[in-house]
Amino acid sequence: MTTPDEGLLRIETLGAGDLLGWSWILAPYRWHFDAYAVTDVRAVGLNASCLRERCKMVPESHLELLKRLVPVIEHRLHMTRRKLLDLYAK
């Protein structure tokens, strides 16, 4: 088993209140990255299929969900881009 720093590229460190993962929102609903906790964590898990079904039934909830997710996704992509630029600039 690898440790969190063994052979992996750390993109970002998350803190209290941060969202971890959005792969559940778009098909094929597969997790793309790993995450490791370095301290005790209290987390809330959501039933993704139930949430997607609600978004189909109540379009306003879909829009509200996207309004909250898109800034997080944009920030993570920006952090990934910066990390890769730092890595390959050397």
Task: Kindly report, residue by residue over 14-37, the tens digit of the pLDDT.
Answer: 888 898 888 888 889 888 788 888
Residue 27 lies in a domain: yes
Residue 18 lies in a domain: no
Helix H segments across the chain? Answer: 48-57, 59-89
Domain that holds residue 33: 23-89
**Who's near 21: CB < 8 A, 6+ residues apart?**
31, 33, 35
As given in the structure block, the two tokens for residue 12 are 């970002």
Residue 16 lies in a domain: no
Predicted TM-score of the model (pTM): 0.71
Task: Work out how many domains the chain is built from and give that number.
Answer: 1
Question: What does the pLDDT average to over 31-59?
Answer: 88
